[in-house]
Amino acid sequence: EPLELVEELGAFFVPRSLAGRHVLLTAGPTFEPIDPVRGITNLSSGKMGFAIARACRAAGARVTMVVGPTTLATPRGVRRLDVRTAQQMHDAVMAVLDAPAGEAPRPDVFIAVAAVADWRVANASERKLKKTGGQAAPRLEFAQNPDILASVARRADAPYCVGFAAESEDLEANAAAKRAAKGVPLLVANIGHATFGRDDNELLLVDEHGSRRLPRADKAQLALALVGEIAQRLPSLRG
């Protein structure tokens, strides 16, 4: 296929900085059902996550991605696991981390790019909720979803964890606070409404030493730059 050929040619010029590594990442939105035809979701297109998956693959990594509802094509050579809800995404991530040793190499890196719902509808209806004259609007009850990034970071065998934060204001302060709360070494932040669905983005990288910006560029270019940043932070592979 022409697109796959372009990917392969592009990958030829990318440093193999993740050779021998296994990268697990999440991408896209999640969907929390209200009833069989309605639900709560967000504007994430998944483009940034898919660009990072391609960049990791080009850098020589084995890549597994857990993907919420999106129609984006699977990057060449990437293992894709499709899910719908935040709970399903959590369970799929944990299943990869807990896979038997002989099944696949353990992930060295976890990149939580997906825009995951914090809450789900606890009293979702099995039937379509219909508007009936004179009746009060249905009352939705919410339950908190598992925190995927924090759950991975807390593990005794945790891979190197990279979190993403889509903020609406006070980007640097909120990103630093989220990095500390999640207990991760690297937090990547952006202004959510300025990136969802677009082909470009700008990123703020926050770690223990402070922050630095990756200026606005095509998401594919930013993904390659981010992969380079992650590779520099990883401990050397033991022979």
Catalytic residues: 42
Cα–Cα distance measured from residue 203 to residue 168, given in angstroms and rounded to the nearest whole number: 13
Angle between helix 219-233 and helix 47-58 axes, rounded to 10 deg: 50
Q: State both tokens at 172.
A: 């640097």
Q: State both tokens at 31.
A: 């969907």
Contact 52, 223 (CB under 8 A): yes
Cα–Cα distance measured from residue 193 to residue 222, given in angstroms and rounded to the nearest whole number: 18
Dihedral pair phi/psi, residue 52, rounded to 5°:
-70, -40
Q: State both tokens at 106.
A: 């353990």
* Side-chain-facing half-sphere of 151: CA atoms under 13 Å: 16
Contact 66, 24 (CB under 8 A): yes
Cα–Cα distance measured from residue 233 to residue 83, given in angstroms and rounded to the nearest whole number: 30
Cβ-in-10-Å burial (0-12, 13-18, 19+) of 122 comes to exposed
CA distances from 117 to 10, 194, 222, 227 (A): 34, 19, 25, 25
